[in-house]
């Protein structure tokens, strides 16, 4: 195992430092943004512009129309996030703080934690953060550890013996006899059912690499007292990345996107995922057999792959259960934790594997959530789910059209398209800068790369929903259990569907540009002899 240290000397970008105001929007940062836009303006004025030529004008209108739609949708999220973050949530936070300061506490604190051969330094920091929150609350706590290896158990037991002598805390280890995180969680929940846990007890679901920031628990739990119909909430995240710098920048940008989207969704009293890194639930839901079975054995019936179980995505299963039952869910933007990402090997491979896991989880759960209909959830949330399915295709239309126009007009159109990308992604990044700890000028291009790769991976995954791999959980893989001949036929069909979808996308766009003409019915009749 790689030797790992998490002190400030090894990680100069200290995640506990959150610059605000002029500490973030420094003169240097503003100068870089102004210089960026200045370079774009110079390029517009000096490079040849052929985007309005007659033979490519229609392409320009389509790219522009798609841009207006997507950026309008982004702006809608930005406005909603602003309303939630500046108006709605501060009132909730202040009322919750009054309840906490007045002395209300949950009867008991439960932490459901799963881990798999995690680095010792990470595990100890995670447990130390739990101890700090239990001590600050002044109520007893229990760590329910879903474990598959003695290695993790020894680390936690040794640490608690050394540092938890003054804390009323119980460690309950549930050793799983079936591999996988889902099985571990299911066994923990079944163990909870055998003990006297009150229905209104609050249970924190968290991963073994998630370090709680100070006060994270005290910001979440009063909301359940304040709102009796609140069934679950999820929290903010920041990343500590041990790996390539560009991967760190990409992850920080992803978390900035997450903050904006989560606050927008939470304005409707729902979220689109109850993040497995850390979410808080009322125990009454966790003690239901339907909830336990859905989490530990969630599956999908697919026209091509038959019936298969989900490997990852336990947070999507818990979310689907809540959504199905009309549960009220919230996002708590100032309850923070740090996700530790250790990137070993190829950074690009890890990026693609993460996209496959995230996109696969979204696709496997999105379709059945859409089928619940807008009457089972706020219409905005339902449309967000529909939009996730549409955006994977619309994102690919623009570059295909740009390539087609370049073939018609030459490199001048490609240069104009790149300027459009530079300007549009910087405008989007200006929103993200407000939700990011640092202003990083790489965001516009990393954002475009993120969108392009994500859309491509989604198109690949939508025809291979049973293919699953979890690189950072022991490199687990899952597929269907059919015999070799059936698997070859299924893989061939998946490849054919992917190729067909790709060809149809390209042909429809190039036909629209008149680069390729589809034969008329009369021509086809003459060819086949009718």
**Tens of each residue's pLDDT in the chain, 530 residues:** 445 555 543 444 667 778 888 889 999 999 999 999 999 999 999 988 877 777 778 888 888 888 888 889 999 999 999 999 999 999 999 999 999 999 999 999 999 999 888 889 889 999 999 999 999 999 999 999 998 888 999 999 999 999 998 899 999 999 988 878 888 999 999 999 998 888 889 999 999 889 999 999 999 999 999 999 999 999 999 988 888 888 989 999 999 999 999 999 999 999 999 988 899 999 999 999 999 999 988 988 888 888 888 887 889 999 999 999 999 999 999 999 988 888 877 778 888 888 888 888 888 898 899 999 999 999 999 999 999 999 989 899 889 888 888 887 788 888 889 999 999 999 999 999 999 988 999 999 999 999 999 999 999 999 988 887 665 555 555 555 567 888 899 999 999 999 999 988 888 887 777 766 666 555 446 655 55
User: Are residues 147 and 174 in contact, defined by beta-carbon separation less than 8 angstroms?
Assistant: yes
pTM of the model: 0.90
Strands (DSSP E) contained in 310-407 are 328-342
255 contact partners, CB below 8 Å, separation of at least 6: 237, 238, 239, 436
The three-class DSSP label of residue 424 is helix
| Nearest residue to 300 via CA among 462, 455, 483, 181 | 462
CA distances from 416 to 115, 133, 403, 443 (A): 49, 54, 12, 20
Q: What are phi and psi of 167, to 5 degrees?
A: -120, 135
Separation of alpha carbons 243 and 17, rounded Å: 20
Separation of alpha carbons 308 and 300, rounded Å: 6
Q: Give the model's pLDDT for residue 1.
A: 44
Q: Are strands 468-470 and 230-242 parallel, antiparallel or unpaired?
A: unpaired
Separation of alpha carbons 39 and 423, rounded Å: 10
> Which residue is listed with tokens 């689907």?
320
- What one-character DSSP code corresponds to residue 515? S
Q: What are phi and psi of 339, to 5 degrees?
A: -90, 130
CA distances from 74 to 71, 79, 256, 456 (A): 5, 9, 13, 20
6 contact partners, CB below 8 Å, separation of at least 6: 121, 122, 125, 240, 340
Separation of alpha carbons 11 and 240, rounded Å: 8
User: Are residues 182 and 305 in contact, defined by beta-carbon separation less than 8 angstroms?
Assistant: no
Q: How far, in whole angstroms, is CA 227 from its chain's centroid? A: 26
Q: Is the backbone of residue 225 left (phi > 0), alpha (psi -120 to 50) or beta?
A: alpha
Q: What are phi and psi of 210, to 5 degrees?
A: -110, 115
Give the distance between the most distant pair of CA atoms in the chain. Answer: 90
Q: Which two tokens stand for residue 448?
A: 């475009």
Q: What are phi and psi of 172, to 5 degrees?
A: -115, 115
- Bridge partners of 146, per DSSP, are 114, 174
């Amino acid at each position: 195992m790689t030797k790992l240290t998490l002190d400030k000397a090894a990680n100069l970008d200290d995640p506990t430092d959150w610059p605000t105001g002029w500490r973030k929007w420094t003169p240097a940062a503003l100068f870089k943004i102004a210089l960026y836009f200045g370079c774009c303006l110079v390029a517009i004025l000096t490079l040849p512009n052929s985007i309005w030529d007659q033979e490519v004008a229609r392409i320009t209108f389509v790219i522009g129309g798609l841009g207006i739609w997507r950026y309008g949708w982004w702006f809608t999220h930005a406005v909603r996030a602003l309303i939630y973050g500046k108006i709605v949530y501060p009132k909730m936070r202040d009322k919750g703080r009054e309840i906490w300061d007045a002395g209300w506490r949950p009867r008991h604190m439960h932490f459901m934690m799963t881990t798999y051969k995690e680095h010792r330094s990470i595990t100890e920091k995670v447990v130390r953060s739990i101890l700090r929150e239990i001590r600050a609350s002044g109520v007893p706590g229990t760590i329910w550890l879903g474990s598959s290896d003695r290695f993790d158990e020894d680390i936690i037991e040794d640490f608690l013996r050394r540092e938890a002598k003054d804390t009323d805390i119980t460690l309950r280890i549930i050793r799983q006899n079936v591999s996988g995180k889902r099985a571990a969680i299911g066994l923990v929940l079944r163990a909870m059912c055998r003990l006297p846990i009150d229905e209104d007890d609050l249970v924190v679901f968290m991963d073994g690499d998630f370090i709680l920031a100070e006060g994270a628990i005290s910001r979440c739990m009063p909301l359940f007292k304040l709102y009796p119909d609140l069934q679950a909430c999820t929290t903010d995240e920041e990343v500590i990345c041990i790996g390539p710098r560009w991967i760190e920048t990409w992850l920080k940008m992803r978390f900035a996107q997450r903050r904006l989207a989560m606050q927008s969704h939470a304005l409707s009293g729902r979220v689109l995922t109850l993040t497995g890194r850390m979410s808080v639930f009322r125990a009454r839901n966790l003690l239901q057999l339907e909830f336990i079975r859905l989490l530990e054995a969630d599956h999908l019936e697919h026209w091509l792959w038959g019936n298969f179980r989900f490997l990852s995505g336990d947070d999507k299963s818990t979310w689907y259960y809540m959504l199905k039952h009309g549960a009220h869910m919230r996002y708590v933007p100032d309850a923070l934790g740090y996700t530790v990402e250790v990137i070993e090997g190829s950074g690009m491979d890890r990026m693609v594997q993460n996209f496959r896991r995230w996109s696969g989880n979204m696709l496997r759960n999105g379709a059945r959530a859409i089928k619940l209909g807008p009457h089972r959830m706020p219409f905005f949330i339902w449309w967000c789910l529909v939009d996730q399915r549409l955006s994977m295709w619309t994102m690919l239309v623009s570059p295909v059209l740009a390539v087609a126009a370049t073939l018609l007009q030459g490199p001048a159109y490609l240069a104009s398209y790149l300027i459009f990308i530079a300007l549009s992604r910087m405008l989007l990044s200006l929103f993200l800068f407000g939700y990011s700890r640092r202003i990083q000028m790489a965001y516009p291009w990393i954002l475009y790369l993120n969108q392009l790769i994500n859309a491509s991976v989604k198109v690949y995954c939508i025809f291979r929903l049973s293919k699953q791999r979890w690189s950072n959980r022991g490199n687990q893989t899952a597929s269907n259990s059919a015999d070799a001949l059936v698997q070859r036929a299924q893989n061939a069909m998946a490849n054919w569907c992917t190729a067909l979808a790709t060809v149809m996308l390209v042909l429809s766009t190039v036909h629209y540009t008149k680069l390729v003409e589809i034969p008329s019915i009369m021509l086809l009749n003459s060819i086949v002899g009718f």
